[in-house]
A and B are shown apart, each in its own frame.
Chain A
Amino acid sequence: MEQPLLMMENISKSFNGITVLDSVSFSVKKGEVHALMGGNGAGKSTLMKILTGVYSADQGDIFIDGKKVEIHNTDDARNNYISMIFQEFSLIPSLTVAQNIFLTRESKTSLGLLNDKQCIEETEKLLEELDVDIHPNDIVGNLGVGYWQMTEIAKALSQETKILVMDEPTSSLTQKETEILFSFIQRLKNKGYAIIYISHRMEEIFEICDRITVLRDGKFVATEECRNTDLDTVIQHIVGRDSNKAFEWKERPYSTDVTPVLEVKNLQAGSKVKDVSFKVFPGEILGIAGLMGSGRSETARAIFGIDAKEGGEILINGEQKTIKTAPDAIDAGLALIPEDRRMQGLILEHSVKENIILPILSKLKKGPVLDEAKANEMASHFVEKLRIKTDDIFKTSRLLSGGNQQKIVLAKWLANNPEILILDEPTIGVDIGAKTEIIDVIRELADSGKAIVVISSEFPELMALSDRVIAMHNGQVVKELRRTEIHSEEELQHAIQGN
């Protein structure tokens, strides 16, 4: 049998007496794409942090090419040709692309000073090979999140690498970009790189990976050949029970003869939103599909008054509304759950309760002071309703998993009892269990009569949720489809290409 390039044997790790990894073994062969799966808290990230030297294992050994290696810090990992593309990006927003890619590895002149010219040239070459249309001198903070990902990959590949760890590499990419990434991964594979691929997206795993290893609660569950297994088996491994049918779409009754709750007419804003019109009816879930840069998120931002509108009308319950700021939007009964929840949706250092009650503080007053009892009750109500997994409502939000953080953001806006909810990538980066729960919650909300707009680059999610889908391309609505007219994801993919 072929010797695996990387073997991790009986790795254990605990934090403050809590076992996070319990004797986990894992191996990757040369030229293999190996998926590492598991729900949040399964131990994937910890295992990879041990591999990349961020943490040290309490027990267990790591072998590369059959030779035992010691990895105690990120330098050790690098010296063993291990590179990681982090989910929480490892880029410095205030530096340029080139400065980021060569950070700590800058070429020097004979005087020992930084040779920026050479770094820029090398970056240019690298970006050209990767076919990424950014400039080495662009400040990373000014680039969109999809470009961050590409910068990140360029950074990993700019140094000699044998083992490449990708943590949710497609979570911020659209379908097209994902395809390009996959053809790229295919080539890396052919070149003999060993790739460890962490993702919650099943179809991706089956498309790109050779083997799948599943962890659950810090323990090894199974390693399976992709071609010998199927979706249900893997989901069963992950959740430890049969998968529910959350991704199955059910026709939901609602009326389109009434006045739409939200009507957008010829909206124009900035360079990304050129002419957007749509209606949403009470109890309806409207999906917005589109590539990155198609103006999906920007449309939401403009409606909500974050970006200035340059033209068009917003009608709420048939009445024209002027929405210039986010408070205007909230007053009009709108809620926007933004794409980047950590940056825009949550105050991570505050407790679950403080986050939930933030938008309704003025309604929770008892005289001049906050009615703590009512606030606690409110927070507890939503923790229960949305099944937020937390010890109590006073726990710091940062300590919760991604799925539960997303639920806090949801709760935060539901507390205000909005009529119209706009959700931008509601399940991005959360595990399959939390994803299905969030989908359920969104359906319940629609059933209770709210109008819902879901922006998503995940087609299964759009297909599962939407009663109607509009496709955006270059700042315009190019197609509108009733869910019953959509028979496969391919049709949606064609729609968002704008032809």
Chain B
Amino acid sequence: MPSKEINAPGQVAFGKSKPRPVQKLDWRNYIVYFAFIGVLIYFSISLFDDGFVSTDNLLNIARQTAMISIMGVAMTFVISTGEIDLSVGSTTALASLTAALAIQSGFGMLGGLVAGLGTGLIVGLINGLLITRFVIPSFLVTLGMMGIVKGMAMWVTDTAPVPIINSAFNFLFGSGDIGSVPILLVWTLLATVAAHILLRKTSFGRQTLATGGNESAARFSGVKTHRIKLMVFLGTGLAAGFAGILYAGRMHAGRYTFGDGDELSVIAAVILGGTSLFGGVGTVIGTLIGSLMIGTINNGLIIMGLDVSQQMMIKGLIIILAVAFGKKAMKN
């Protein structure tokens, strides 16, 4: 190790002439929080008489956004490595069906859980292996996988929904409330806390950010970047599988339409939250807020009485504006 004698008298330290800028609180990292609060305040005032601020409605938002949030926290890892996973929506549908079929075939709640999560993990594994072993861009792999998995979900029961008559499963994975707290909110918070710790406090999380920040540098530093990428795709697979289970539990059925278009909401939530689409920078809490914000906007627009077409347009506009605003702030 270097010794202290390196500080020989008369030596000038490296860059002592350049004063280090004081680290100031970087407000642009928190832009999504301000935006979220802004949206909440706007709807609270304009929709006060329509019951927007009622506990029921707010808990409803939590229920509606749970699946997006859970997939979002996993997607945060994928996007942090500079990759993308478009197959999560389709995986959700297939997982809801395999879980429902397992329960229908008498494997019980545990069987349903294993089938749903297993489905997600298999999709994630295939994605991850294709991306790391055959070095195919994740956009293409998961775009292809999105179609394949969706097709399988339609084919497996010939587009018929599969009812779930297992009240424990339905309670625990979607429909239940603990006291007045929806079980979906509990799952969301558990997933967020676990993912936050994983990203911020473990070497896996650090290596995920390193991989996205500069892949070759990470490799030179001893990060097994391919393993990291495989892991993050297993993560989105697992989360999509779990989201499928939650859809099934909430609707008491498996159905191929579940999760339709969710991949875009999930990616929007992650990017709105402040994770960089180019990799290297990620935030799980930001993703949760991004997801809640999208859910809140949806909810508010419905209460306002806007129809689906108007909702879609306004939602799209808000996402573009929020990201553009964040980008502009970053430049200054």
Chain A interfacial positions (CB closer than 8 Å to B): 54, 74-75, 78, 84, 86, 88-95, 99-100, 103-106, 108, 112-114, 126, 129-135, 137-138, 144, 146-147, 150, 155, 157, 176-177, 180, 183-184, 187-188, 191, 291-293, 474
Contact = CB atoms under 8 A, between A and B. Distances in A.
B217 A91 contact: yes
B7 A131 contact: yes
B124 interface: no
B73 interface: no
A291 B12 CA distance: 12
B202 A133 contact: no
Given A92-B221, A155-B221, A187-B6, 18 more contacts: A54-B220, A74-B220, A92-B209, A92-B213, A93-B280, A95-B213, A100-B221, A103-B210, A103-B218, A103-B223, A104-B203, A129-B3, A130-B6, A134-B20, A144-B18, A180-B14, A183-B11, A184-B6
A144 B23 CA distance: 16
Q: Which of A105, A114, A135, A293 has most chain B Cβ within 10 Å?
A: A114
Nearest to A184: B6
Contacts of A104: 203, 207, 221-223
Contact of B197 (A78, A113, A129): A113
B221 A131 contact: no
B14 A94 contact: no
A94 B3 contact: no
B316 to A, nearest CB: 29
Nearest to A108: B203
Interface string B264-300: 0000000000001001110000000000000000000
Contacts of B197: 113
Nearest to B282: A94
Interface of B: 1-8, 11-18, 20, 23, 197, 200-203, 205-207, 209-210, 212-214, 216-223, 276, 279-281
Contacts of B217: 88-92
B23 to A, nearest CB: 7
Nearest to A497: B12
Q: Which of A113, A132, A157 has most chain B Cβ within 10 Å?
A: A113
A196 to B, nearest CB: 16
A137 B214 contact: no
A459 to B, nearest CB: 18
Contacts of B280: 92-95
A112 B203 CA distance: 9
A357 to B, nearest CB: 28
B201 A292 contact: no
Contact of A86 (B1, B23, B220): B220
B284 to A, nearest CB: 15
Contact of A132 (B14, B203, B223): B14
A89 B213 CA distance: 13
Contacts of B216: 88, 90
A411 B218 CA distance: 33
Contacts of A78: 222
Nearest to B221: A103
Contacts of B8: 183
B214 A91 contact: yes
A187 B209 CA distance: 35
A133 B13 CA distance: 7
A19 B213 CA distance: 33
Contacts of B218: 92, 103
Nearest to B212: A94
Contacts of A157: 1-2
Nearest to B12: A176
27 contacts: A74-B220, A78-B222, A88-B217, A89-B217, A92-B218, A93-B214, A94-B214, A94-B276, A95-B206, A100-B221, A103-B218, A104-B203, A104-B207, A113-B197, A113-B201, A114-B201, A130-B14, A131-B14, A132-B13, A144-B18, A146-B14, A155-B221, A157-B2, A184-B6, A188-B2, A191-B3, A291-B17
Q: Which of B2, B200, B203, B219 has most chain A Cβ within 10 Å?
A: B2
A309 B216 CA distance: 37
Q: Which A-B residue pairs are the 8 nearest by beta carbons?
A: A94-B280, A92-B213, A94-B213, A90-B220, A113-B201, A131-B13, A104-B222, A90-B217
A108 B5 CA distance: 30
A479 B316 CA distance: 58
Contacts of A108: 203
Contacts of A138: 20, 23
A177 B15 CA distance: 8
Nearest to B279: A94
